[in-house]
Every structure is written in C-alpha cells, then in structure tokens.
Amino acid sequence: MQNKICIIGLGYVGLPLAMAFSKKFKVIGFDIDKERVDQLNTFEDKTNQATKKALEEALKTDLTLTSDLNLISDCNIYIVTVPTPVTKEKKPDLSFLLSASKTVGLCLKKGDLVIYESTVYPGCTEDDCVPVLERSSGLVFNKDFYCGYSPERINPGDKVNTLTKIKKVTSGSTPEAAQEVDELYNSIIEAGTHKTSSIKVAEASKAIENAQRDLNISFVNELALIFDRIGIDTTEVIEAAATKWNFLKFKPGLVGGHCISVDPYFLVHKAKSLGYTPEVILSGRNVNDQMGKFVASKVVSLMKEKGIKIEGSKALILGVTFKENCNDIRNSKVPDIYRELIDFGLAVDLYDPIAAAEEVIKTHQITLTKTPSKYEAIILAVSHDLFIENGVKDYKNPNGAVIYDIKSVLNRADVDGRL
Ligand SMILES: NC(=O)c1ccc[n+]([C@@H]2O[C@H](COP(=O)([O-])OP(=O)(O)OC[C@H]3O[C@@H](n4cnc5c(N)ncnc54)[C@H](O)[C@@H]3O)[C@@H](O)[C@H]2O)c1
C-alpha cells in the first residue's frame, strides 16, 4: 500500500517535515489554527522555515494543508508535532499532545501507525498518549495499531543543519513498527537514522540532548558570575582553557526558547514521579534563569563607574528572539533584562527587526521600538547578523554610554563589558 501521511501541527517542526515527506509520499498537513493554515496556503510562513517558492512548489504537488478533520481520515501514518510546553509551575503541559492524540484516535484504522515527534519525557508516548488513542479509536495498541517516536532535532534559523541533514533517532512499539518507522525516515533523511531498541530510549535521548546543553551553559554562566567578582574576562578565560584538546568550549549567555530551557523540566518531572529529585539538572536551570538579572545589574554598575546617572537615562536592548537570526520569541530571557533595567529607573527601548512586533506585545507585553535613537546604555542581547554587520556605535550618546555585549561578538576594545 502507498503510504499517506498526516502531520498534526504545522509549526517550526511540522511544516518542514510535511514538506520533506511530500517529496516522496502524499501528505496532508493538519493544524487547528485556521489562520496559520490559510497563511501557509497563500505561501506565507511566519516561522521562516519555508520560503514562498518552496511552499508554492510543495503545494502544487503532493502536499495539502488543512484544518478540516474530514480530510485526514484516510491516512495510514499520523505524525504528531504539536507543542509540549511547561506550565507556570514548570510541570509538563501535555494538553496539546493529548488533544492531538484524541484527534488522531478518531481517524485510526486497523494497521495504522502513529509517530510522535514532540519532545516528551521517557514513557510519555506509551503511558500517556497511547491510552488516549485507544479510548478515542476503540482499537487495541500493538494489535490494531502501532506507535513510534522519532524526536525532532531541527535548529531554527540554521540554514546548514536542516531537517534532512541531521541524523534521525527512530523507534517503534514492536520490532516491526520500529523497522517501519526507521525505513520511513530513512527515505527522506540524507544523514540516515539511528534506530533504538525502545520508544523510551528514543524519548530519553531527546530529553538529555537539551538537558546536557542547558547544563554545559549553566556551568560557564556560573563561571561568568564568579569571574565577574574576580574581575577577569570570562571569554578570555574560556579561550585560554579551550587550547586544551578535551576542554568543551561553551559560551555563557541567556538560555531561553522552548527547547533547552523547557525540556530539562520534563526529565525532572519524570525523575520526581519515580521518587528522585534531580539536583544537577535543577541547579543548572536556576543558574541560567538568573542571567538576565545579572546582566541588568552589571550594566547599571558599569554606568555608575563611568559617572552616568541611572535615573532618567535611556537603555537600548538589541534583540529579543531567543536565538540569533531566528524570529522565535518564545521563552526569551531578554524581557528579564528589560524589566530589571526599568526597575532600576532607566527608560528602555527594545529593538529587533527580525521579531514580529505583534507577537512581542502578545507574548511579553513589550512594544518594540522601530527607530532607535541615542542611549546611555546599549546591550547586544542577540547576535543577529544585521547587528554584527551594523555595529552599535550609532546608538551611543556622545556624552557617555556603556556598551555591554552578552554574546561576545563585538570588538573587545569597543565594549565596556561582556558575559
Ligand atoms: N522548534 C524547534 O526548534 C523544535 C526542535 C525540536 C523539537 N521541538 C519540539 O517539537 C514540538 C513542536 O514544536 P514547534 O516549535 O513546532 O511548535 P509550534 O508552536 O511552532 O507549532 C505547533 C503547531 O501545532 C498546532 N497544534 C496545537 N495543537 C494542535 C492539535 N491538537 N491539532 C493540530 N494542531 C495543533 C499549533 O496550532 C501550531 O501551529 C514541541 O514538542 C517542541 O518541543 C521543537
């Protein structure tokens, strides 16, 4: 039988996946957000994952994008790529995943395969999603239908390491399902696949990729807090240490976004449910969450050192997205700096031509400035190419200003401080 694939959730992960699969199979992309589907059908992708041309070409051939549930019921493979955020209390919010599972369950037929790509904790697919699939479909797991888990590893904004260039971890609920999942991805992933022995192993592999990155960054962030007190430059120390072959060269910085700053909590949740409270993972999270506050107070103390009065001064923050050259603002830590500086009594402008201004208002309740002027403090928070190319000197108040470079990308001689 020729596969017909349905991708549930057309965001940063789902859209590129639907487009990649549509080069080999008939694909229906389904999203509950009708506005998103309408935009995509007019070749507009606000996530910047697909160009107008690529979308137009894909939609001319085997890709259909819809919000109409009736159109997805004759698929035989369902791939779920919906969000998995955490709640305010940092607990996994499975509402999107469970609701998508209910939707898929309504369409399931004997022999169908359901693959999850959303980031979860080990056990989530089989313990949380499968019961919903069974209830909603009336079918029996591993008898009537099968599951797989294949974590997404894309890096939005990165034009080199794109979906098909990154090795894909695959798994299935039976050896046969695992083989089917593996072959399916192998047909589109140029970098190949890595099949694990169980769904739990694949789920855990994704959770630890991001938790490891979070921890490595938290270590250098902690070093930045220590070296600031000592009065030495962290980047210089790291560059010196990195001349040894086995030193891991991580840079200090703000850790935001909905992967690295979120996924460790999935692991924490699972560990706690089994009676173990992780210390290392949580302490890394705590350090990383402090960095916005540290940057703001550092900028203020550098201003005082230069004799610039704080009250009534203006500060400019360059960049609000959670990473460079990407328009995603979810869980960005830049607003922490913004609010801290306001608490210190500064008037703060936030400038980011890459971010969507309406999204920033909606998500962070901050209005972006369109025309930055002159400032007593300038903070480079996100290293978008355009900020590096243009530099920051134009924004300096000629009577005195502090430049702080969070990303350590500007010329050292031109800045007053960096992380
Ligand atoms: N963005 C990344 O860089 C990245 C990388 C690797 C893994 N992930 C993981 O992939 C998953 C998806 O992330 P994303 O960034 O693509 O999210 P996203 O918010 O960009 O997109 C999710 C889409 O799912 C839709 N949706 C929500 N509930 C739905 C439902 N019940 N039925 C159909 N559609 C529904 C939303 O409308 C939205 O368009 C998350 O678990 C995330 O952690 C993301």
* Ligand 1 atom closest to residue 262's alpha carbon, by position in its atom list: 43
Q: Which residues pair with 405 in a beta bridge?
A: 380, 418
For the residues 230-259, what does the mean pLDDT come to? 95
Q: Which residues contact 254 (CB under 8 A, 6 or more apart)?
A: 288, 291, 292, 295, 322, 332, 333, 334, 336, 381, 406
> Hey, what are 181's tokens?
């999942």
Element (H, E) at 298: helix 291-305
In short, whether 13's Cβ falls inside 6 Å of ligand 1 is yes
Place 306 in a pLDDT band, splitting at 50, 70 and 90: very high
What was the pLDDT predicted at 203? Answer: 98
Query: Would 4-205 and 234-418 be classified into the same CATH topology?
Result: yes
In short, whether 336's Cβ falls inside 6 Å of ligand 1 is no
Looking at 75, 129, 147, 259, which residue is catalytic?
259
Whether the pLDDT of residue 1 is over 80: the answer is no
Per the listing, tokens 């051939």 go with: 61
What was the pLDDT predicted at 2? Answer: 87
Distance between CA 323 and CA 12 in Å, rounded? Answer: 14
b/e map of 289-328 (b: 16 or more CB within 10 Å)?
Answer: bebbebbbebbbebbeeeebebeebbbbbbbbbbbbbbbb
**CA-proximal residue: ligand 1, atom 26 (nearest):** 9
Residue (of 352, 391, 394) closest to 375 by Cα position: 394
User: What proportion of the chain, given as a percentage, has pLDDT over 70?
Assistant: 100
In short, whether 395's Cβ falls inside 6 Å of ligand 1 is no
Q: How confident is the prediction for the chain on average, in pLDDT?
A: 96
259: annotated active-site residue? yes
Q: Delimit the domains of the chain by residue range.
A: 4-205, 234-418
Q: Which residues pair with 86 in a beta bridge?
A: 92
What was the pLDDT predicted at 159? Answer: 83
Place 63 in a pLDDT band, splitting at 50, 70 and 90: very high
Q: Which of 30, 31, 167, 359 to mutate to test the pocket of ligand 1 (most atoms within 8 A of CB)?
A: 31
Distance between CA 265 and CA 253 in Å, rounded? Answer: 19
CA dihedral 374, 378, 383, 385 (to 10 degrees): 20
What was the pLDDT predicted at 155? Answer: 85
Other CB atoms closer than 10 Å to residue 221's CB: what's the count? 25
Task: Tell me the CA end-to-end span of the chain in Å, nearest whole number.
Answer: 56
What was the pLDDT predicted at 164? Answer: 95
What was the pLDDT predicted at 157? Answer: 77
Whether the pLDDT of residue 23 is over 80: the answer is yes
In short, whether 257's Cβ falls inside 6 Å of ligand 1 is no
Distance between CA 54 and CA 48 in Å, rounded? Answer: 11
For the residues 266-275, what does the mean pLDDT come to? 97
- Please, are residues 225 and 58 in contact by the beta-carbon 8 Å criterion? no
Domain at 234-418: CATH architecture: 3-Layer(aba) Sandwich (3.40)
Q: What is the pTM of this model?
A: 0.94
- Please, are residues 25 and 4 in contact by the beta-carbon 8 Å criterion? yes
* Ligand 1 atom closest to residue 15's alpha carbon, by position in its atom list: 16
Instruction: Report the number of secondary-structure helices (H) and strands (E) in the chain.
Output: 15, 13
What was the pLDDT predicted at 158? Answer: 82
Lowest-pLDDT range, 122-131, 151-160, 349-358, 366-375? 151-160
Whether the pLDDT of residue 127 is over 80: the answer is yes
For the residues 373-391, what does the mean pLDDT come to? 96
The CATH code that applies to domain 4-205 is 3.40.50.720
Element (H, E) at 177: helix 175-186
How far does the centroid of ligand 1 lie from the alpha carbon of residue 272, in Å?
25
Q: Which of 93, 133, 152, 166 to mutate to test the pocket of ligand 1 (most atoms within 8 A of CB)?
A: 152
Place 341 in a pLDDT band, splitting at 50, 70 and 90: very high
- Rounded to 5°, the CA angle 149-152-158 comes to 170
In short, whether 154's Cβ falls inside 6 Å of ligand 1 is yes
Phi first, then psi: give them for residue 327, nearest 5 degrees: -95, 10
> Measured in whole angstroms, how far is the alpha carbon of residue 89 from the centre of its chain?
19
* Integer CA distances (angstroms), 48 to 40, 52, 70, 381, in order: 11, 9, 28, 21
In short, whether 152's Cβ falls inside 6 Å of ligand 1 is yes
pLDDT, tens digit (0-9, with 9 covering 90-100), for 194-242: 999 999 999 999 999 999 999 999 999 999 999 999 999 999 999 999 9
What was the pLDDT predicted at 293? Answer: 97
Residue (of 272, 267, 292, 153) closest to 204 by Cα position: 267
* Ligand 1 atom closest to residue 82's alpha carbon, by position in its atom list: 24
Q: Which residues pair with 65 in a beta bridge?
A: 29
What was the pLDDT predicted at 198? Answer: 98
How far does the centroid of ligand 1 lie from the alpha carbon of residue 110, in Å?
27
What was the pLDDT predicted at 156? Answer: 80
Element (H, E) at 289: helix 280-289
In short, whether 377's Cβ falls inside 6 Å of ligand 1 is no
Distance between CA 66 and CA 119 in Å, rounded? Answer: 24
For the residues 142-167, what does the mean pLDDT come to? 93
Whether the pLDDT of residue 292 is over 80: the answer is yes
